[in-house]
Amino acid sequence: MGRETKIKENVLYEIWNHHGFKSKLSTPTGDDIVILDKGTQNIEVGGPDFHNARIVIGNLTYVGDVEIDCAYSDWKTHGHHLDSKYNRVVLHVTLLNKNNYSHVYTRDGRKVPTVCLKDFLEPELTESITHEYEESQKNSAKVLKCDEVNESFPREEKERFLSELGIIRFEKKCKKIYTRLKELVFLSEMKVNEPVISYELTGRFQEKSFSHNDFRIKDVWQQLMYELIFEALGYSKNKTQMADLAKHANIKFFSKIETDGVVIEKYESILFFISGLIQNTTAGTGVQTKEYLERLNFHWNSSRTMYDGKLMDETEWHFFRLRPQNFPTIRIAGGARILFSLLHGELIRTMIKKITEIHSHNVLSNSLRSLMIVKAEGYWKNHYVFDEAANSELKYFVGVSRADEIVVNVLIPFFTVYFDVFGNQSLSKKLLKMYTSFQQKGENQIITEVAVSLKINELVRKTVIAQGSIELYRNYCSRNKCLECRIGKSVFS
């Protein structure tokens, strides 16, 4: 969501909270609206803006949720019509409704009345919203408190500081991966299947000394990479869900699935059913969807007797404010193909061979990146969700930018840990050098805004600087630890 929309919606929340309307509300079709209870504002990530409202629309009293958007079109743009979290919405409130539409539709097909507030607000209020937006634009890049004074801090010192933070962030990733590796080895020895309702690593685990031989379990390394890649495919909003899915539908379970010409579709079936994103139905209205669902149901019915784990719920997943190509459905489709390479394409062995034999860091990074790019195919080439065709064909399930991030955040630290565990320090050092010289294709909002504030825009393609920017923002800037930051200490002293 853009900055303008955020500001306008925050103002609209206040208006809704305080009933700041100049006249009685009504829908575009002429039904009167009476707010008996505005509801409780949702402060969590995702889901409608207000819960448990009581509203009279026409002659009926509705109890449910209220969604507030800047424009009528945001209902679809933000993916509310695809997200089951919005199935309880009873009123869609907007500031603008250019074509005077009267309804939106929930994922389960229910009609929800829309009310456009433009005609019920004082003109001065509309002007103040515009003014607030213009003011925000002036300060849009000022995400760091030192924005206006950090020019006095030498540029080369900024680069050095961010590089150091980038290394610290890398070491944290390696430590996290090594800790999870030890957990997987320990759980394998104890014959504990994940995920269980709750478990604590006992003192026996804390006291255990691990040797090289403890880590010579192929499916432990496969499971570790599987979890890390799925987590990376989930972005910030679905990374926990994707990692949990990899723990539920684990490598040991997939190893029981018969390999044939439709094994990837079998993997899709398992992942979609266990994720809860598909119900056991063939009621899709489109022919292509109906046939695809029939095949998925067939595959799942053939394998479900071997599965004794937990089934997730579709409400756990976030679609809200995601670009359609980042929907979990698309990421699972891409993940199914990477999983196939992991189990049947000797993916880890292939990567080890490349890291060992390719001497150029640039050639090596391109080679690893290419293994993570997944071209779109099959049903999900022209669908983002079940039974809703996309406006245009999708080219990639996992594109260059996301593949880049997997190389940086998963593959380089994963294999650094791998070579450290088996005592190959020369290859560990090689990967660290690759990390410090890696030039990434994409960047995120934090990286961009930190670069603008520090006036180092041209440096952020360098991965170690980009990662250092994230470390700076999350551990200093966002926590108001300016006087613990090397830059802050200098410019605010």
Q: What residues does 55 pair with on adjacent strands?
A: 35, 62
pLDDT tens for each residue of 348-397: 999 999 999 999 999 999 999 999 999 999 999 999 998 888 888 999 99
For residues 163-175, give the mean pLDDT. 97
Residue 133 has pLDDT above 50, yes or no: no
Decide which of 430 and 21 is more confident: 430
Q: What residues does 67 pair with on adjacent strands?
A: 92
pLDDT at 281: 55
pLDDT tens for each residue of 26-42: 999 999 999 999 999 98
Closest CA to 460 of 403, 398, 408, 397: 408
Phi and psi, residue 61, nearest 5°: -100, 125
pLDDT tens for each residue of 94-109: 888 888 899 999 988 8
pLDDT tens for each residue of 433-490: 999 999 887 778 889 889 999 999 889 889 999 999 999 999 998 888 888 999 999 9
Q: Which of 70-84, 101-115, 189-203, 415-429 has the highest mean pLDDT?
A: 415-429
Q: Is 422 left (phi over 0), alpha (psi -120 to 50) or beta?
A: alpha
Q: How are beta strands 383-385 and 374-375 bridged, if at all?
A: unpaired
pLDDT tens for each residue of 274-314: 999 986 555 556 889 999 999 999 999 999 999 988 999 98
Residue 226 has pLDDT above 80, yes or no: yes
pLDDT at 5: 46
Among 64-68, 134-138, 226-230, 386-390, which is the least confidently predicted range?
Answer: 134-138
pLDDT at 118: 81
pLDDT at 228: 98
Q: Is the peptide bond before 195 cis (omega within 30 degrees of 0)?
A: yes
pLDDT at 405: 93
For residues 405-421, give the mean pLDDT. 96
The vertex-359 CA angle with 358 and 363, nearest 5°, equals 65
Residue 137 has pLDDT above 80, yes or no: no
The set of residues, in sequence order, having a beta carbon less than 8 Å from that of 366 and lying 6+ positions away, is: none
At 243, is the secondary structure helix, strand, or coil? helix
pLDDT at 207: 63
Percent of the chain predicted with pLDDT > 70: 89
pLDDT at 413: 97
Can you read off the two tokens belonging to residue 339?
Answer: 């999983």
Mean predicted lDDT score pLDDT of the chain = 87
Whether residue 112 contacts residue 81, with contact meaning beta carbons closer than 8 Å, is answered with no
Torsion of CA 316, 321, 326, 332, to 10 degrees: 10
Residue 325 has pLDDT above 70, yes or no: yes
Q: How far apart are CA 271 and CA 39, in angstroms?
A: 36
Can you read off the two tokens belonging to residue 3?
Answer: 């900055």
At 47, is the secondary structure helix, strand, or coil? coil
Residue 143 has pLDDT above 70, yes or no: no
For residues 195-206, give the mean pLDDT. 52
